[in-house]
Amino acid sequence: MSRFEIYSPEGLRVDGRRWNELRSFNCSINTHPNAADGSSYLEQGNNKIITLVAGPQEPSSRSQVNTKQATLSVTINLTKFAKMERSKSSHKNERRTLEWQASLVRTFEKNLMLHLYPRTSIDVQVHALQLDGGILGAMLNGITLALIDAGIAMYDFVSGVSVGLYDTTPLLDLNSLEENAMSSVTIGTIGKSEKLSLLMVEDKVPLDRLESVMAIGIAGTHRIRDLMDKELRKHGKTRVENSSN
Amino acid sequence: MGLSLTEKSFLYDSLTLDPPLRPDGRGPHQFRPLEVSTDFLPNSNGSSRVILSGGSECIVSVKTKVVDHTVEQELLVADVDIQGHRDDSPLVTSMSSLLSKLLKQTIDQKKLMLTKRYSFKLYIDVLVLASKSYPISMISFAIFSALKNTWLPKLISNDDDLEVEELPTFHDYDMVKLEADAPLLFTFAIVGDGVFVDPTFEESIVSNNGLLITWYKDKVTSPIRSVGLNNDNIKGFSQHHLEQAFKLIRQYAPHIEKALDASD
Amino acid sequence: MSVQDRRRILGPAEAKPLQFAAITPVRTVENRDDGNGNKSGKESVFISTDLVTNANGSSYLEYMDGTSDQVLVMSSVFGPRPLRGSFQSKASVSIQFKEVTLEHLNTGEIKEICTFLTNVFNAVINVEKYPKSGIDIFIDLIQHSNSNPTEEANIVNILPTCINSITMALVDAGIEIIDLVSAGSKDNSVVAFIRNGHEIVGIWSDDDNVTDISKLIEECKAKYLVNKQTLVQYLK
């Protein structure tokens, strides 16, 4: 590790970015039109994520029926081959995965108009084919796109990104090398507002630095929102063109 | 998702017509259109994705690790994960077991030998994202194309290290292609007098029985199994069903192998 | 220094070791078929039914083929018994296979065997007759010794005896089946037949080179007829 400088005095990070730059961001929606009601594929840096949404549909069991609103469930599948080194366990029942699932459900329960779909269930599956840091933020973006593709009513985009704190400098959108080297937080915001819908702090962050960390994080999520919006509009345009022909 | 009695009876009747009529208009020997893409996971040594027209999808990753083969005997691990099925469900475990046994038999382990002490160990991970019909055929196709497109690091150190304590070293960027042939598995649905390759979910539901036949290196090989594609309509079948399935596979499997091979 | 052995649970001071009477080889051979002399030795089958009292039907089969192959299998059938939950118009058959003594097979292979056998008996049991019910079949492989212990050979050697044993247990339980199902094996392949060999209900082949499927089936059919005859003779 000594050969790498996490953040050089010239202000460059391991992959050549500056402190406030995002990794390359590519997304597409409706990638699995026959397999699911809504789907998206997202690449955020070296993260590759497939998200499938099934629903609103009849719940598989009676216990999931809620007469007031739809039941939302999120399943995270971090594949065994996703990391550089193959992991032996499937991460399905790990506490960290279960916690992420619960916080994603809570985030999207607030943002979706679930009361429009009573007595139904909406099931979201996230498959991570490749992992490279900031996965929770990437999953927020992937789920947002897939839910939009499924046509489920929501108030606004939810976009997420991770921010780290290196000494006193906040660094935007960490990759796995950086994530292992410093403490980081994941931020999810609603649309272009400064309202946070998710704040995941798994490490210690000094309170007096939190404001600058959040500021760059919110700016990053807004940029991601714009990128997703651009892709959606492009997709919508081609869909309209194809249907009119 | 189930079908009503009327739907089932309609399907069964149309499949037992002469000539038979499949719901998607295919002939008994025809596959669903499938799309194969390879080499999209930079973290893996080989990867492939197979999508069938109905939306069934399967992703295979081949990863490798250098192990001391005097300590570790197993050089091949196949792991199957099917969405919507628990890891210990009969479908997943029996499929995993069948595939790993088959791959161990067919893939030449000598190709994985690096030196006299070290070997590559292959991890073949299968992720079935969506599938309603019996997915083993799709999985075998994906494994076939993933192994055809697997690149292993090139060894630059001496390959005789029996006397010297030396760890194998590799070229910085040159890779060697793993030329491994994987077997192809075909599923057949038996409906009435007819035998149909690559049954869809709907055809599986009304089928009387199912057959699983393996094709490897231009001949039919083991395992051959009868598999129940549903739990309700299972009946016996006759010798001519088997002969018909063998005829179909001998006639068309080479074409399929060629098509998959050319897809990269 | 204490001399008491704390690691073992010792019996009382006056305990005596168990003593067994000398073992005298006693064997009842119900049926011995000498006509089918493919292998050098003589194949023999011992059948006994109704030995598990709390099961609806049970059977115990010993199969040996004069050489060193020996398969001892016990099956018990529970049901038809009511199933809870949603309505089902047909009986649901479940088969659990277990090795009670030495464990040669891994979990995956055991699941494969269960799936295969379930499929065979789904075709044979008259499931329409028993709506809303479950039929649970348990097979215990008590012993299996064989001269060349390779994994594939193992499964193929035990399958016919398993199938015969389940058939006898089903007959003992009085569950309606469309015919006595039995199987014959040849070169790493097992084929299960009904209706005098006119209908196949299951095929399991681990034979690497299947050139002529018709020949394979004919050969398995010959064995099947012998096996079935044995079952019929016992039932008479």
Per-residue pLDDT of C190-222, as tens digits, reads 999 998 888 999 999 887 777 788 888 888 999
A177-200 pLDDT, tens digit each: 999 989 999 999 999 999 999 999
Half-sphere exposure of A201 (CA within 13 A, CB side): 11
Token duo for residue B170: 């590799």
Give the neighbor-by-neighbor strand order of the sheet with A158-166.
Answer: A169-172, A158-166, A183-190, A196-201
pLDDT of residue C125 exceeding 80, the answer is yes
Q: How far apart are CA B90 and CA B86, in angstroms?
A: 9
Token duo for residue A69: 């609103």
Distances (CA, A) of A204 to A132, A164, A183, A209, C37: 21, 11, 6, 11, 79
Residue C17 touches partner B, C-beta closer than 8 Å: no
Which residues, given as ranges, of chain A have pLDDT below 50? Answer: 1
> Which residue range(s) make up the domain with A167?
25-244
- Closest Cα of chain C to B246: distance in Å? 8
Chains C and A touch (3+ CB pairs under 8 A): no
pLDDT of residue C32 exceeding 50, the answer is no
Considering the domain boundaries, does residue A125 fall inside one? yes
For chain B, give every domain's residue range: 1-30+183-263, 34-165
Ramachandran region, residue B198 (left: φ > 0; alpha: ψ -120 to 50; beta: rest) = left
Give Rg (Cα) of chain A.
18
Taking an 8 Å cut-off on Cβ atoms, the answer to whether A83 and B43 are in contact is yes
Tokens 């469930």 correspond to what residue? A73
> Does the domain made of B1-30+183-263 have the CATH classification 3.40.50.300?
no
Q: How far apart are CA B13 and CA A239, in angstroms?
A: 38
Per-residue confidence (pLDDT) for residue A106, from 0 to 100: 95
Q: How far apart are CA C206 and CA A14, in angstroms?
A: 54
Residue C111 touches partner B, C-beta closer than 8 Å: yes
> Which residue range(s) make up the domain with C168?
41-235
The pLDDT-based confidence of B138 (bands split at 50, 70, 90) is: very high
Considering the domain boundaries, does residue A146 fall inside one? yes
pLDDT of residue B51 exceeding 80, the answer is yes
Considering the domain boundaries, does residue C2 fall inside one? no
Mean pLDDT across chain C = 82
Distances (CA, A) of A194 to A188, A191, C62: 10, 8, 77
- Looking up residue C133, the CATH number of its domain turns out to be 3.30.230.70
Q: Phi and psi for A5 in degrees, rounded to 5?
A: -110, 120
Q: How far apart are CA B241 and CA B238, in angstroms?
A: 6
Q: How far apart are CA A192 and CA B55, in angstroms?
A: 35
Considering the domain boundaries, does residue A8 fall inside one? no
Considering the domain boundaries, does residue C140 fall inside one? yes
- Please count the structural domains in chain C: 1
pLDDT of residue C114 exceeding 80, the answer is yes
- β-sheet bridge partners, residue B159: none
C162-196 pLDDT, tens digit each: 999 999 999 999 999 999 999 988 878 899 999 88
Per-residue confidence (pLDDT) for residue C149, from 0 to 100: 53
Closest to C159 measured CA to CA, from C94, C93, C223: C223
Per-residue confidence (pLDDT) for residue C36, from 0 to 100: 42
Taking an 8 Å cut-off on Cβ atoms, the answer to whether B97 and C111 are in contact is yes
Q: Chains with 3 or more CB pairs closer than 8 angstroms to B?
A: A, C
Considering the domain boundaries, does residue A163 fall inside one? yes
Domains B1-30+183-263 and B34-165 share a fold: yes
Token duo for residue A196: 């946070």
Mean pLDDT across chain B = 88
The pLDDT-based confidence of C37 (bands split at 50, 70, 90) is: very low
Per-residue confidence (pLDDT) for residue B46, from 0 to 100: 92
Considering the domain boundaries, does residue C118 fall inside one? yes
- Measure CB to CB from residue A81 to each of B61, B83, B87 and give the nearest one: B61
Considering the domain boundaries, does residue C13 fall inside one? no
Cβ-based neighbour number of residue C171 at 10 Å: 18
Q: How far apart are CA C124 and CA B193, in angstroms?
A: 19
Higher pLDDT, A41 or B4: A41
Q: How far apart are CA B137 and CA B27, in angstroms?
A: 18
**C-alpha torsion B190→B191→B194→B200, nearest 10:** -70
Interface test with C, best of B234, B235, B244, B250 (most C CBs within 10 A): B234
Tokens 């290290």 correspond to what residue? B161
- H/E element holding A76? strand A71-78
Q: What ipTM was assigned to the predicted interfaces of this complex?
A: 0.88
Which residues on C lie below 8 Å from B97 (Cβ)? 106-109, 111-112
Considering the domain boundaries, does residue C35 fall inside one? no
pLDDT of residue C138 exceeding 50, the answer is yes
- Closest Cα of chain B to A76: distance in Å? 11
Half-sphere exposure of A14 (CA within 13 A, CB side): 16
Considering the domain boundaries, does residue A16 fall inside one? no
Residue C208 touches partner B, C-beta closer than 8 Å: yes
Interface test with B, best of A81, A87, A90, A126 (most B CBs within 10 A): A81
- Closest Cα of chain A to B87: distance in Å? 9
Closest to A99 measured CA to CA, from A204, A198, A224, A183: A198
Taking an 8 Å cut-off on Cβ atoms, the answer to whether B94 and C208 are in contact is no
Lowest mean pLDDT among B125-139, B184-198, C33-47: C33-47
Which amino acid is located at B79 in the chain?
D
Per-residue confidence (pLDDT) for residue A28, from 0 to 100: 93
- Closest Cα of chain B to C8: distance in Å? 34
C105-108: long-range contacts (C-beta < 8 A, 24 or more apart)? C105/C151, C105/C154, C105/C155, C106/B97, C107/B93, C107/B97, C108/B93, C108/B94, C108/B96, C108/B97, C108/B98, C108/B100
Per-residue confidence (pLDDT) for residue C105, from 0 to 100: 81
Taking an 8 Å cut-off on Cβ atoms, the answer to whether B236 and C122 are in contact is no
What DSSP state is assigned to residue A68? S
Helix, strand, coil % (nearest 5) of chain B? 30, 35, 40
Residue C31 touches partner B, C-beta closer than 8 Å: no
Per-residue confidence (pLDDT) for residue C39, from 0 to 100: 42
Residue A35 touches partner B, C-beta closer than 8 Å: yes
Does the model's pTM come out above 0.95? no
What DSSP state is assigned to residue C125? B
Interface test with B, best of C119, C152, C178, C196 (most B CBs within 10 A): C119
Considering the domain boundaries, does residue C7 fall inside one? no
Strands (E), B53-98: 57-68, 76-82
Mind giving me the DSSP string for C140-153?
A: EEEEEE-SS--HHH
Q: Are the C-beta atoms of residues A72 and A146 closer than 8 Å to each other?
A: no
Lowest mean pLDDT among A77-91, B185-199, C126-140, C141-155: C141-155
- Please count the structural domains in chain A: 1
Q: Kindly state the average pLDDT of the residues B7-35.
A: 89
- Closest Cα of chain A to B66: distance in Å? 12
Identify the CATH number of the domain defined by range B34-165: 3.30.230.70
Closest to A47 measured CA to CA, from B43, B45, B39, B48: B43
